[in-house]
Amino acid sequence: MTDIPRLYTALAEWCACVLYLKTMGTRLRGPRLWAACTVALVIQAAFLVLTGGLPIGFWIPCMALAVGFMFLFLLLFGGGSPAGAGYCCVRAFVLAELAASLEWQIHCFFLGPDERGWRSLLLLAVVYGAVFAAMYALERRYCAAGQGVAVTWREFGSSAVIGVAVFTISNLSFLSIRTPFTGQYSGEILNIRTLVDLGGTAILFAYHIQRSELRLRRELESVQNVLQNQYLQYQQSKESIDLVNRKYHDLKHQIAWLREENDPEKRSAFLDAMESEIRNYEAQNKTGNPVVDTMLTSKGLYCASHDITLTCVVDGALLDFMDVMDICTIFGNALDNAIEYVETLVETEKRLIHVTVSAQKGFVLLSFENYCEAVPDFDGGLPVTTKGDAAYHGYGLKSMRHVAQKCGGTLTVQKRENWFELKILLPLPAAPQ
């Protein structure tokens, strides 16, 4: 039996890699990306074609090297980790085996193994186009939400075991026909190969959906815990601030009583200053939204006791359309992250945090800025957590992004000069007619 042309195999492997580059993200864009893909295709095709005439003993090592080229292609130009590149490489290889085997089986049945004319190229384009377009559609429809979920080495190992098993069983007939799992005729061999590759592709796809759902469910539970903790923190802060407000209210009455009972000029001037401070305190914590007032006052009291300068220019009334827990999530996490960083600065004059909430042409812009000397690493548009276990941290920013997306807005972070900036842009609801 004539085996699949090596050039066809190289093209299938390259197409599969390009497909998974689209799903996992790329480091390059535009012409640079396509130039890199072209070079990868030339290398893959040249290697497989030049090694096509080697003895059967070199077949497995050559296939291993071909898979290695696929892995390097995904690792160098993809946006994931080595484990993620390996995971996608396994899926790409099994999918490429399916596409090549299916195309060659149809080719041999309708055209014969010796046909190399325009009909052969047309059939190649149709079958490859159908296989990879169908897989791309499935990836977008069922797996888009989990594409960004990090792959662990254990998950890569599980997928590698599946991939090796599929490749071994599907190609066993080429090594020996004297087993219960092989065929003796070309038609049987092609059927076994195509059906096993189809089953392997389905198993890996189902495994991908399952791991994505499990990881996203775990992340959702963690985000929910963050939301609940922020709400509990808000409730505790509200109780504390209510107590402070009552004390200040009582103090105002005491000042009035003292003014009536004792009226030395020095005492009067002192009491006037105290009243002025009380008015300043009240003005600083009246943004027009009681939830925002509570969060800012609570964090402000903490900052004042830790030599942190917190300045606010906030129109809280713009956030009246938001849920209480959503406001707690944004302000609680943003201020906690800023406070946590500036507390590490030795020079207290650099412990600066600035918060603004303002209207911007039909949108409300929430801006949280803090002085920052370090250059953070970014992954997926968010800074990488500096805490020990990244798997259990970093959910504060993710929960804020979730709230922004739920409200139809966006969250962006950037480092500009010596300032770390977190901005959330939300559309204002249309006024009722």
- Each of the 433 residues of the chain gets a pLDDT tens digit; together they read 567 899 999 999 999 999 998 877 788 888 888 999 999 999 999 999 999 888 877 888 999 999 999 999 999 988 778 898 999 999 999 999 999 999 999 998 888 888 888 999 999 999 999 999 999 999 888 765 445 557 888 999 999 999 999 998 887 766 556 665 555 556 677 788 899 999 999 999 999 988 888 877 777 776 776 667 667 667 656 766 665 676 677 667 666 766 666 656 766 776 676 666 665 555 456 788 988 988 888 788 788 778 889 899 999 999 999 988 889 889 989 998 999 999 999 999 999 999 999 998 889 999 999 998 876 655 555 565 555 444 334 567 888 988 999 899 999 998 888 899 999 999 998 765 4
Q: What is the pTM of this model?
A: 0.58
Confidence at residue 90, expressed as pLDDT on a 0 to 100 scale: 95
Q: Say if strands 378-379 and 382-383 run parallel, antiparallel, or are unpaired.
A: antiparallel
Helical H segments across 147-289, by residue range: 153-170, 172-175, 186-261, 265-284
Confidence at residue 70, expressed as pLDDT on a 0 to 100 scale: 95
Confidence at residue 389, expressed as pLDDT on a 0 to 100 scale: 43
CA angle 178, 181, 185 (to 5 degrees): 65
**Residues 41, 385: Cα–Cα separation, whole Å:** 37
**Residues 148, 84: Cα–Cα separation, whole Å:** 10
φ/ψ of residue 26, rounded to 5: -125, 155
User: 425 - beta bridge partners?
Assistant: 365, 410
Confidence at residue 247, expressed as pLDDT on a 0 to 100 scale: 64
Q: If you ran DSSP here, which 8-state letter would residue 318 be given?
A: G
Q: Say if strands 378-379 and 309-314 run parallel, antiparallel, or are unpaired.
A: unpaired
Per-residue model confidence as pLDDT tens digits over 288-324:
898 898 888 878 878 877 888 989 999 999 999 998 8
Confidence at residue 10, expressed as pLDDT on a 0 to 100 scale: 94
